[in-house]
Structure 1
Amino acid sequence: MVRAPGVTAEPSGDRTVVLDAEATTMSTLNPVGALLFAQLVTPHTAAQLVEVLRRQFPDVPVTTLESDVDSFLAQMRSAGLIVPADADG
């Protein structure tokens, strides 16, 4: 997955505000979501994102991280903020 074309992300305190290209969808990401979204400047698989979180949170069970990444990706894709890497242009 990768950020959809035209999507912008701006830090706001410990959160990140993400706006779609048409400025119709605004999402506010918590610090973990912001960390994941920052990775999606370049294409990443779910497994790669889990590894990012595993390095950041080594005491959290991998199954929890996988569930969190899957949920995050589903929400971002539903909002049109990320697309499959082969569809980014």
Structure 2
Amino acid sequence: MRFFQRPKPWNLIQTSYLRYQASLSANGYAMSDLVKCTVLLADMSEWQTFNGIYKTYFSDRYPARSAIGANGLALGAKVEVECIAAVD
């Protein structure tokens, strides 16, 4: 019998940023076009994990960011990421 294992929070955070990266790239933009990122964490003890992953996606400047502890994310999610891009 196989049991479903929920993905680890670091994997979910990384997947979120990979999806943003792919979406931006497909539309001619880059992660450097992001100006604000908000992350909702079901467990704020994952802040260090989020911060470590966040730093790997940016080099010259970091977008503004907020991290909020959120109980009861939709569908039992452990993390939710929202980013805003601005272009000239």
What is the TM-score normalised by the length of structure 1?
0.32
Q: Give the structure, 1 or 2, with the largest relative contact order (CA under 8 Å, sep 6 or more).
A: 2
TM-score by length of 2: 0.32
